[in-house]
Structure 1
Amino acid sequence: MLFALRFTDHPTAFDVRKAYLHPHLAWLKQKKDVVKAAGSLREKNSDRPVGALWIVEAENEEQALSIFADDPFWLHGLRASVEVLSWSLAFEDMLNH
């Protein structure tokens, strides 16, 4: 099953993002078989990130929630919250490129 994970960052934790960006990206690379797409979210393109959106493949919601438990951004307090939503592709081959 596919899930959309929408993370919201603590507004005062931008220093955490800067300090742990490279470990976070290395962590995402290791999880690429599960985290199918990931990226930061901004209100406007030139703004600082306010969170992130991931597309995750997991067996169920509980497994989707456990995927990011050891992500450096999560461990070091960047994230204020996470929302997990079941997600359906409009076309089966949309994530295959």
Structure 2
Amino acid sequence: MKFIILFEDTPDADPDIRKTHMAKHLDFLEHNADKIEVAGPLSDAEGQGRDGLWIVEADSEDDVEQLVHEDPFWPTGLRSSYSIIKWKQVYADGARLIHPS
């Protein structure tokens, strides 16, 4: 089952947190590539990176929560919250993934 994870960054977090922990965060994403399909920061109107988004393949919401809490960014204070949203992909790579009756 697919999930979208939307992260909200702490507005007053130290701006160097992301830089300081990025290598460990990327190692974590690569180590979990079988579950975390895509990941990246979102941008504000001025193009500054903020918040984040993952698309995850997992058996349950509990599995997704475990991933979130294992991410090296989580204990740093960079993230203030996250939302886990179940997602059904119906279109990819120019093709329908479902066929309505």
Q: TM-score, normalised by structure 1?
A: 0.86
Bigger share in strand: 2
1:50 match: secondary structure = strand
d(CA) in 1 for partners of 2:92, 2:54: 18
1:19 match: secondary structure = helix
One-letter identity of the residue aligned with 1:30: H
2:34 match: secondary structure = coil
**Residues paired across the two proteins, number:** 93
Alpha-carbon shift at residue 59 of structure 1 (Å): 0.8
With over 3 angstroms needed to count, the CA separation of the structure-2 counterparts of 1:64 and 1:93, relative to structure 1, is farther
1:23 equivalenced with 2:24 (yes/no):
yes
Q: Which runs of 5+ in 2 are unaligned?
A: 95-101
d(CA) in 1 for partners of 2:37, 2:80: 22
Name the counterpart of 1:35.
36
Q: Which runs of 5+ in 1 are unaligned?
A: none
Cα deviations across residues 25-78 of structure 1 (Å, max 9, x unaligned)? Answer: 11111111000110101123621x221000011111111111121211002121
d(CA) in 1 for partners of 2:81, 2:32: 20
Q: TM-score, normalised by structure 2?
A: 0.83
d(CA) in 2 for partners of 1:11, 1:55: 23
Name the counterpart of 2:75.
75
> Which aligned runs of 4 or more in structure 1 are off by greater than 2 angstroms?
91-94
